[in-house]
Chain A
Amino acid sequence: MGSHNRNGVARTMSTDRTPLTQETEAQLRAIGPTEILVGIPSYNNAQTVGHVVQAVSAGLAKYFPDRRAVLVNSDGGSTDETRAIVANTAIDPNHLFISDQQSVLHRIITPYHGIPGKGSAFRTIFEIARRLSAKACAVVDADLRSITPEWIELLLRPLLDEGYDYVAPYYLRHKYDGTITNSLAYPLTRALYGQRIRQPIGGEFGFSGSLATHYLDQHVWESEVARFGIDIWMTTEAIVSGARVCQSFLGAKIHNPKDPAADLSAMLTQVVGALFASMEQHEKLWTRQEGSHPVPLFGFRYEVGVEPVHVNLERMVAYFQQGLTDLEPIWRQILSPDTLDQLLLLKKRSGNDCRIPDDLWVKAVYDAAAAYHKRVMPRDHLLKALTPLYLGRTASFVLATQGLTSAEAEQTIEVLCQTFEHLKPYLIKRWTGLGPSSPPDVLVHRATADAGGTYE
Chain B
Amino acid sequence: MSEFLSQAIIGPLQVIGQRVLSVLPNVLAMGMILLGGLGIAWLSGNFAERLLRVIGIDHLSDRLGVNAALLRGGIKTDPSRIIGRALYWTVLLLATIAALGALNLAPINQFEMSLLAYVPHFVTATVIILAGYFLSNFTSQAVLIAAVNAGLPPARLIAATARWGILLLAGAMALEQLGIAQHIVVVGFGIAWGGIVLAAAIAFGLGGKDLAKDFLERRVAGRPRAEASDDLRHW
A→B interface (CB under 8 Å): 265, 315, 318-319, 322-323, 326-327, 330, 374-378, 380-381, 384-385, 387-388
Partner pick for B145 among A318, A375, A376, A384, CB 8 A cutoff: A384
Q: Contacts A322-B155, A326-B144, A376-B63 known; A384 to B138 CB distance under 8 Å? A: no
Shortest CB-to-CB span from A325 to chain B, Å, is 8
Most buried by A among B138, B149, B151, B156: B149
Interface residues of B in 52-87 (CB under 8 A from A): 63, 65
Contact: B138 with A378, CB < 8 Å? yes
Q: Contacts A326-B156, A377-B65 known; A265 to B151 CB distance under 8 Å? A: no
Contact residues in A for B148 (Cβ distance below 8 Å): 319, 322-323, 326-327, 385, 387-388
Most buried by B among A326, A376, A378: A326
Contact: A384 with B151, CB < 8 Å? no
Per-position contact with A for B118-144: 1 when CB-CB < 8 Å, else 0? 000000000000000000001001101
Partner pick for A330 among B63, B138, B144, B146, CB 8 A cutoff: B144
Contact: B151 with A322, CB < 8 Å? yes
Closest-by-CB residue of B relative to A266 is: B149
Contact: B153 with A322, CB < 8 Å? yes
- A443-B152 Cα distance, complex, nearest whole Å: 34
- A265-B147 Cα distance, complex, nearest whole Å: 11
How large, as a class, is the contact surface on chain B?
Answer: 10 to 19
Shortest CB-to-CB span from B163 to chain A, Å, is 13
Contact residues in A for B146 (Cβ distance below 8 Å): 384
Closest-by-CB residue of A relative to B63 is: A375
Shortest CB-to-CB span from A157 to chain B, Å, is 42
Contact: B149 with A326, CB < 8 Å? no
- A323-B151 Cα distance, complex, nearest whole Å: 9
Contact: A381 with B149, CB < 8 Å? no
Contact: A384 with B149, CB < 8 Å? yes
Contact residues in B for A377 (Cβ distance below 8 Å): 63, 65, 141
Shortest CB-to-CB span from A443 to chain B, Å, is 29
Contact residues in B for A381 (Cβ distance below 8 Å): 141-142, 145
Contact: B145 with A385, CB < 8 Å? yes
Closest-by-CB residue of A relative to B146 is: A384
Contact: A319 with B151, CB < 8 Å? yes
Contact residues in B for A326 (Cβ distance below 8 Å): 144, 147-148, 155-156
Contact residues in A for B145 (Cβ distance below 8 Å): 327, 330, 381, 384-385
Contact residues in A for B149 (Cβ distance below 8 Å): 265, 319, 384, 387-388
- A388-B138 Cα distance, complex, nearest whole Å: 20
Shortest CB-to-CB span from A368 to chain B, Å, is 14
Shortest CB-to-CB span from B134 to chain A, Å, is 11
The 6 closest A-B pairs by CB, nearest first: A265-B149, A384-B145, A326-B155, A387-B149, A385-B145, A326-B148
Per-position contact with A for B16-28: 1 when CB-CB < 8 Å, else 0? 0000000000000
Q: Contacts A322-B155, A378-B138, A387-B149 known; A327 to B63 CB distance under 8 Å? A: no
Shortest CB-to-CB span from B92 to chain A, Å, is 36
Contact residues in A for B156 (Cβ distance below 8 Å): 326
Shortest CB-to-CB span from B71 to chain A, Å, is 14
- A384-B147 Cα distance, complex, nearest whole Å: 11
Shortest CB-to-CB span from A370 to chain B, Å, is 13
Q: List 15 A-B contacts (CB under 8 A).
A: A265-B149, A315-B151, A319-B151, A322-B148, A322-B153, A327-B148, A330-B141, A330-B144, A374-B63, A378-B138, A378-B141, A378-B142, A381-B141, A385-B145, A388-B148
Most buried by A among B63, B147, B148, B155: B148
Shortest CB-to-CB span from A39 to chain B, Å, is 32
Contact residues in B for A374 (Cβ distance below 8 Å): 63
Contact: A327 with B153, CB < 8 Å? no
Contact residues in B for A327 (Cβ distance below 8 Å): 144-145, 148
Shortest CB-to-CB span from B58 to chain A, Å, is 15
Shortest CB-to-CB span from A90 to chain B, Å, is 32
Shortest CB-to-CB span from A186 to chain B, Å, is 24
- A377-B141 Cα distance, complex, nearest whole Å: 10
- A322-B138 Cα distance, complex, nearest whole Å: 20
Contact residues in A for B153 (Cβ distance below 8 Å): 322
Shortest CB-to-CB span from B222 to chain A, Å, is 24
Shortest CB-to-CB span from B200 to chain A, Å, is 23
Contact residues in A for B155 (Cβ distance below 8 Å): 322, 326
Contact residues in B for A319 (Cβ distance below 8 Å): 148-149, 151
Closest-by-CB residue of B relative to A383 is: B145
- A30-B101 Cα distance, complex, nearest whole Å: 83
Closest-by-CB residue of A relative to B155 is: A326
Contact residues in B for A330 (Cβ distance below 8 Å): 141, 144-145
- A381-B147 Cα distance, complex, nearest whole Å: 12
Closest-by-CB residue of A relative to B154 is: A326
Shortest CB-to-CB span from A322 to chain B, Å, is 6
- A353-B89 Cα distance, complex, nearest whole Å: 59
- A318-B151 Cα distance, complex, nearest whole Å: 8
- A58-B191 Cα distance, complex, nearest whole Å: 69
Shortest CB-to-CB span from B173 to chain A, Å, is 24
Shortest CB-to-CB span from A91 to chain B, Å, is 36
Closest-by-CB residue of B relative to A318 is: B151
Per-position contact with A for B30-70: 1 when CB-CB < 8 Å, else 0? 00000000000000000000000000000000010100000
- A330-B143 Cα distance, complex, nearest whole Å: 12
Closest-by-CB residue of A relative to B65 is: A377
Shortest CB-to-CB span from B8 to chain A, Å, is 81
Shortest CB-to-CB span from B220 to chain A, Å, is 27
- A322-B144 Cα distance, complex, nearest whole Å: 11
Per-position contact with A for B156-194: 1 when CB-CB < 8 Å, else 0? 100000000000000000000000000000000000000
Closest-by-CB residue of B relative to A384 is: B145
Shortest CB-to-CB span from A376 to chain B, Å, is 6
